[in-house]
């Protein structure tokens, strides 16, 4: 009694392809395999799958490339490429990265979170981003006021108040989802200002002291700030306090 013949996957796929060309059905093909190869034959479902592929015009005997290529996708080159991409555009979506590199979204997520130790955070809104030159005089003035406060806390709190003017803008706000950015682990949420065009604005004059807001005045549309305007503001401030 002879031992059953064995063959690799490429060989039996070639035989299936030949039988499809001959016009045999998957059942007939399976019967011929059983007759010759016995228990070493491919299963009926395997024969049926490859017969259908060859009927659709497929000519290759190799498996289709698997999406994501999980073992080969996590290479130093791909990790470096992905890192450069998210540093160039921190709002890039996982789907866009996957389509650009040609790997699965699951593998992109794994590399971002496990290999690069990154996560996506919503930007934290601030009214204005100051430059180093803008921060320096503000810091010095604040230090001077703090020194005066420490010298005589009671009189300072009772007598000192200040004011400033600011434009208040109307914006179409950006959603939290739109503001998400890729950040390294341990980093705080990025900051953002209202970068969308303003729908309108008006001037506000704000007075405050150590205990909080004292008085706010909103400049009427079409009016300008003059000496008389300031004089009236001080009079109204005095009346309220």
On the question of pLDDT at 4 being above 50, the answer is no
On the question of pLDDT at 1 being above 50, the answer is no
Q: What are phi and psi of 192, to 5 degrees?
A: -145, 150
Confidence of residue 61 (pLDDT cuts 50, 70, 90): confident
Pairing mode of beta strands 191-192, 124-125: parallel
CA dist 169 and 199 (Å) reads: 7
On the question of pLDDT at 167 being above 70, the answer is yes
The verdict on residue 4 lying in a domain is no
CA dist 229 and 219 (Å) reads: 9
Whether residue 222 is found in the same domain as residue 179: yes
| pLDDT mean over 186-205 | 68
Confidence of residue 19 (pLDDT cuts 50, 70, 90): very high
Q: pLDDT tens for residues 95-138?
A: 888 888 888 888 998 999 888 888 887 777 666 777 888 889 88
**42 burial via Cβ count (<10 Å: 0-12, 13-18, 19+):** buried
Question: Which of 74-88, 157-171, 222-236 has the weakest average pLDDT?
Answer: 157-171
Whether residue 86 is found in the same domain as residue 140: no
The verdict on residue 178 lying in a domain is yes
Whether residue 132 is found in the same domain as residue 227: yes
Whether residue 224 is found in the same domain as residue 161: yes
CA dist 6 and 41 (Å) reads: 8
Whether residue 133 is found in the same domain as residue 218: yes
195, 130 contact by CB (below 8 A): no
Report the mean per-residue pLDDT for the chain: 78
The verdict on residue 34 lying in a domain is yes
- Can you give the residue range of the structural domain that contains 191? 125-240
Whether residue 137 is found in the same domain as residue 186: yes
208, 161 contact by CB (below 8 A): yes
Whether residue 197 is found in the same domain as residue 150: yes
Confidence of residue 2 (pLDDT cuts 50, 70, 90): very low
Confidence of residue 7 (pLDDT cuts 50, 70, 90): low
Confidence of residue 191 (pLDDT cuts 50, 70, 90): low
Confidence of residue 51 (pLDDT cuts 50, 70, 90): confident
Q: Where are the beta strands (DSSP E) in 38-138?
A: 118-121, 124-125
Total tally of structural domains belonging to the chain: 3
Residues 6+ apart with CB under 8 A from 148: 156, 160
Whether residue 218 is found in the same domain as residue 196: yes
Q: pLDDT tens for residues 132-166?
A: 888 898 899 889 878 877 877 666 655 667 777 77
The verdict on residue 64 lying in a domain is no
């Amino acid at each position: 009694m002879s031992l059953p013949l064995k063959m690799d996957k490429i060989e039996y796929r070639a035989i299936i392809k030949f039988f499809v060309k001959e016009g045999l059905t998957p059942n007939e093909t399976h019967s011929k395999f059983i007759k010759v190869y016995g228990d070493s034959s491919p299963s009926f479902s395997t024969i049926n799958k490859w017969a259908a592929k060859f009927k659709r015009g497929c000519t290759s005997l190799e498996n289709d490339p698997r999406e994501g290529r999980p073992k080969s996708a996590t290479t130093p080159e791909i990790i470096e490429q992905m890192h450069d991409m998210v540093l160039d555009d921190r709002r890039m979506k996982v789907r866009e990265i996957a389509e650009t590199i040609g790997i699965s979204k699951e593998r992109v997520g794994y590399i971002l979170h496990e290999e690069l130790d990154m996560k996506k955070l919503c930007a934290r809104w601030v009214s204005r981003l100051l430059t180093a030159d803008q921060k320096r005089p503000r810091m010095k003035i604040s230090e001077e006021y703090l020194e005066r406060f420490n010298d005589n806390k009671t009189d300072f709190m009772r007598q000192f108040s200040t004011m400033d003017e600011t434009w208040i803008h109307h914006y179409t706000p950006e959603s939290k989802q739109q503001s998400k950015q890729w950040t390294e682990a341990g980093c705080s949420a990025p900051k953002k200002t209202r970068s969308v065009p303003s729908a309108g604005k008006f001037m506000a004059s704000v007075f405050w002291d150590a205990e909080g807001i004292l008085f706010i005045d909103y400049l009427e549309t079409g009016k300008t700030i003059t000496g008389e305007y300031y004089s009236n503001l001080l009079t109204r401030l005095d009346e309220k306090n």
